[in-house]
Amino acid sequence: MELFGYAKVGEPAPYFTMQSTQNLGTLDEVVTLDDYRGQWLILFFYPYDFSLVCPTEILALSNRYEEFQLLNTDVLGVSPDSIYAHRAWLQTPREENGIAGIRFPLASDPTHQVAEAYGVLVPEKGFPLRGLFIIDPLGILQYAVIHNFEIGRSVDEVLRVLEALQAGGLCGADWQPGDEMLVS
């Protein structure tokens, strides 16, 4: 299995058009990469709605959404589930393994084309690995990380990397927002 089929850091992010939960009542809004031009985008893939690890990640991202917004960054979650499954999950209370009240949309990739373009699709399973991509305001892919199915992603690390990218300098392994940049 090739993990990075088409998405390459430093190159334009693969284009996408998907149905989304932007309008939960009608489910008639699509989301495209162009919708995020002029701002940063955290694009993340997850295997399926109503799973065990996925809500922990999605709720953690949603709980810190204001921090992303302060960094001119939006968030979009993607899975192969139908737009109707997304709506059901979004309307399910958190204590019942739902994600009611999250602050960003989910998009549906039932044909797996977007997951394949970003190199996260596991064809024999029919769903994506936990890929997370940071795309800059010009549509250039600046960061990519792929986790297996069992391990959730750290919002602290996503925010640290995002701020390091926006700082525009050399950042060491232990760099934290507000720290000095390395001198080359």
171 a catalytic residue: no
End-to-end CA distance of the chain: 37
Q: Report yes or no: 8 and 141 within 8 Å, Cβ to Cβ.
A: yes
Hey, how many other C-beta atoms are within 10 angstroms of the C-beta on 144? 20
Q: Check 18, 42, 54, 107 and give the catalytic one.
A: 54
Q: Which residues are catalytic?
A: 54
